Structure 1
Amino acid sequence: MSMHLDDTDRRLLSLLQANAREPAATLARKLKLARTTVVARLARLERDGVVAGYGVRLGQRLDSTAVRAYCSLSILPKTTASVLKELAQMPEIEEVSAVSGQFDYLVFLRCETHEQLNALLDRIGLIDGVNHTQTSIVLSRKIDRRSAVGL
C-alpha cells in the first residue's frame, strides 16, 4: 500500500517524536489546526501503521552514563529462531537487526558498566548457534536523527 504523508503529517509526527505525551489540544495549537482534525489524523496514522505505538526515550542524563555497544553476530544455519529467542530474554539488548555482509545480525546493547557489558558479551557468545561476534563500543554520538522525521 502506498502511503502519502503531507507536510502536516510530518510535522505532527515530529512533534510526537519529541513528546508522545503531548495532549491533542497542544498539538493542534502548534499545528494551527482544530483538535478534532489532529485526533482524526492520529487515528489515521495509527490505523495505517505509520504510528505503531508510543514509548519512552531515555533522557540525556541516563543515556550519557550508559555503556553502549554494537555487536555483530554470525549465526550457524538453522539456529536463527533459537538464537533470537535467547537474545530477546536479555533486557540490555535494545535492538537486533538482520544485516547484509559478513555478519547476520547487528545487536545494539546498553549496559550500566563495562563489567556488565563484558558479562553480557560472554552470555551472547555462549548461546548455542552463535558462531562469531565482533563488538564495537560507542565512544560518543556525533549525529542523532532519531527524533527527526526522515520521510
Structure 2
Amino acid sequence: MALDTVDRDLITLLQVNARESTANLARKLGIARTTVVARLARLERDGAVVGYTARLGSSAGVPAVQAHVGITLQPKSGRDVVRRLQKLPELQWLSSVSGEFDYIAILKAETTARLDQLLDEIGELDGVIKTHTSVVLAVRVDRNAG
C-alpha cells in the first residue's frame, strides 16, 4: 500500500496522540472529518495502522532506565542467544543489524542496579563475545506507542 503525504501526516499525528478526535485531526490536516474517518478505515484495513495503545508515564510505574545494547556474538550462536534474550521481561526490542554489532537490544529496567544485573546476565550468555551499552539520558522524539 502506498501512503501519500496526508496518510503519513495523519499517522504522525496519531503517533503523538492516538486519542485525538477526528475533528481535531481534520482541522490539523486541513481536510474534512469524513475524509479522516475514511482514511483511518483504509489504513486499518490495509494494515498500515494495526492498533492503538496507551503509553504509561513514569508515575504509572514505567521503568525509569532505558538502554540500547549492542551485542556481538560468536558465529552460529544467534538462535540460542535470541531464545535466551526473549526470556528477559526487560527486553523491549531486539533487532539483528549490520555493522559493528550483530544485534541491538533495547532494555527498560526499574533501576540502574537492575540494568547492571541484566547487562551481566547478557554478557555471561554462551555465545556473547561483547556488549556495548548506551544509557538513554532523555528521549527527544518518540513516535512509537509501545
TM-score range, shorter chain: 0.7 to 0.9
Q: CA deviation at 1:29?
A: 5.2
State the partner residue of 2:131. 133
Q: Tell me the percent identity.
A: 48
Asked if 1:91 corresponds to 2:89, the answer is yes
Give the deviation of 1:72 after TM superposition: 0.9
CA contact (8 A) 2:72 2:128 kept: yes
Given candidates 115, 118, 129, the residue that maps to 1:117 is 115
Residue 104 of structure 1 deviates from its aligned partner by: 0.5
**TM-score, scaled relative to structure 1:** 0.75
Matches for 1:1-150 after TM superposition, within 5 Å: 3-6=2-5, 8-24=6-22, 26-28=24-26, 30-31=28-29, 32-35=31-34, 37-59=35-57, 66-141=64-139, 144-147=140-143
Letter in 1 for 2:111: T
Gaps of 5+ in 2: none
3-state SS of 1:74 partner? strand
TM-superposition CA deviations, 1:92-114 (whole Å, max 9, x none): 11221222222111111111111
**CA distance in 2 between partners of 1:124 and 1:99 (Å):** 17
Helix, strand or coil at the partner of 1:73 = strand
The residue type equivalent to 1:112 in the other structure is: E
Q: TM-score, normalised by structure 2?
A: 0.77
Q: How far 1:117 moved relative to its partner?
A: 0.6
SS of residue paired to 2:83: helix
- Deviation larger for 16-25 or 117-126: 16-25
Task: Evaluate the alpha carbon distance shift between residue 39 and residue 65 of structure 1 in structure 2; reply closer, same or farther with a 3 A threshold.
Answer: same
Q: Is the partner of 2:117 in helix, strand or coil?
A: helix
- Find the aligned partners of 1:39 and 1:84 in 2 and give their Cα distance: 40
RMSD after superposition: 2.9
Kept after mapping to 1: 8 A contact 2:63/2:108: no
- List alignment gaps of at least 5 residues for structure 1: none
